[in-house]
Amino acid sequence: TESILNQVQLQGAADPGLPPPGYVDGSEGAPSPRSATTALTSTLLQPMTNLDGIAAVELERARRHLEHDLKKQILDAASAKSESSSAAATLSAQHKDIAALQARVNHLRSELEKTQSDRDGLGQHLQELQLKVRYYEALAVENSLPLAPRTRPESSADAAEDSSPPL
């Protein structure tokens, strides 16, 4: 506050961005609703700051402006904190969903590996059975034994011939 007071004393109370106290929109002679407050503020601040009335009013304006900015920053910070808390809750829920999905993926991967292993085992078993069939067929031919008919789908013409009564 000392630097602000020194600056106001050195530069005077003239601030081109603010209208002079007691006037509205720069129209001379039209008192503003703040003129009573301005007069009261200047009479109260002059003994404390040893500034003239206009400088004291400018100092009060600067204080109010800073106070307004501080309130705005506090509200912005509270809003940002609320938004970050909401985002953190959403992120936490998404992490839980991701963990559940990863567990499901691991379970499905395990089932897929088991199914592939079972399929590979069945394929190997089928090959073993086919080798046995060929072995026994070759053995039967070698020993001149009658072979059992293979079961395979036949055409409808072949089926009609087979359905005729034996002679």
User: What is the tens place of the pLDDT at every residue in 28-50?
Assistant: 444 454 554 555 555 555 555 56
Tell me the pTM.
0.38
How far apart are alpha carbons 88 and 52 in whole angstroms? 53
* DSSP-based three-state secondary structure for 106: helix
Over 60: is that where the pLDDT of 22 sits? no
Residue 124 has pLDDT above 90, yes or no: yes
pLDDT band at 95 (very low <50, low <70, confident <90, very high): very high
Do residues 65 and 29 touch, judged by C-beta distance below 8 A? Answer: no
50 conformational bin, left if phi > 0, alpha if psi -120 to 50, beta if neither: left
pLDDT of residue 144: 79
